[in-house]
Amino acid sequence: MTREGEGTERTAQIGARVKRSAAAMTTMVNDLLEYARTELGGKMPIAPSLGDMRDICQAAVDETSAAHPDCDLKLICEGEMIGDFGGPRLSQVLSNSLNNAAQYHSGATPVTVAAKGHAKEMVLKVTNFGREILPQSLRAIFDPLVQLSVSSDQKGPLSTSLGLGLFIAKEITVAHGGRIAVESSAEGGTVFTVISPRSIESSY
């Protein structure tokens, strides 16, 4: 329906809405399955293979763009991008962080994904300049089923998400032997930082 020359402008618009809805539903279903796994005592399965972090980041950017077409996303890569990663899992971490950023960004500045390769680890940063996240929300941001309040004048959450995305991102990062953190200020924006080893062992 969205392919050029296959229909009218109206069908292309409908197709774009269907595509966005399908992407949103896929994210929700995946988050529910991962949450159920952790509640039952299961571990996040990781299957590392030689990969390019640039491709992993681009896949996350493409997925987020499908769900949030009005959000401007910018990818910056620096250093060595090749490593022994759990590629699909790290892409899921970035997608969940990007979806959160896309929901809360101001629209005036692009949401940025920056990947930097070091000798033994990869540093991934997702930055958006929306409303500053309140300190009490920052303390619980990676807890399951949490909806963010990002300012004192906001009465409720801005999205209809399940509040699982950042919890899943944390669980996957820990399963990689890495760590994830967040900071938020009016000057520096909201920054999610993921630090993951360049080489990991399988957890299957």
**CB atoms inside a 10 Å sphere around CB 114:** 17
Look at the block and give the residue holding tokens 């959000």: 71
Beta carbons within 8 Å of 38's beta carbon, 6+ residues apart: 44, 171
> CATH number, domain at 149?
3.30.565.10
- Residue 150: which domain range? 9-197
Residue 1 lies in a domain: no
Please tell me the predicted confidence (pLDDT) of residue 159: 47
Query: What's residue 98's pLDDT?
Result: 93
DSSP line for 107-140? SSS-EEEEEEE-SSEEEEEEEE-BSPPPHHHHHT
In a domain, 2, yes or no: no
Give residue 41's pLDDT: 65
What is the chain's length? 204
Residue 202 falls inside a structural domain: no
Tokens of 200: 């990991």
Tell whether 4 is covered by a domain.
no
In a domain, 204, yes or no: no
This prediction has a pTM of 0.75
pLDDT average per 10 residues of sequence, the chain (204 residues):
76 76 68 66 76 93 86 95 88 90 85 95 94 84 71 44 77 89 92 91 55
Given this model, what pLDDT does residue 48 score?
Answer: 84
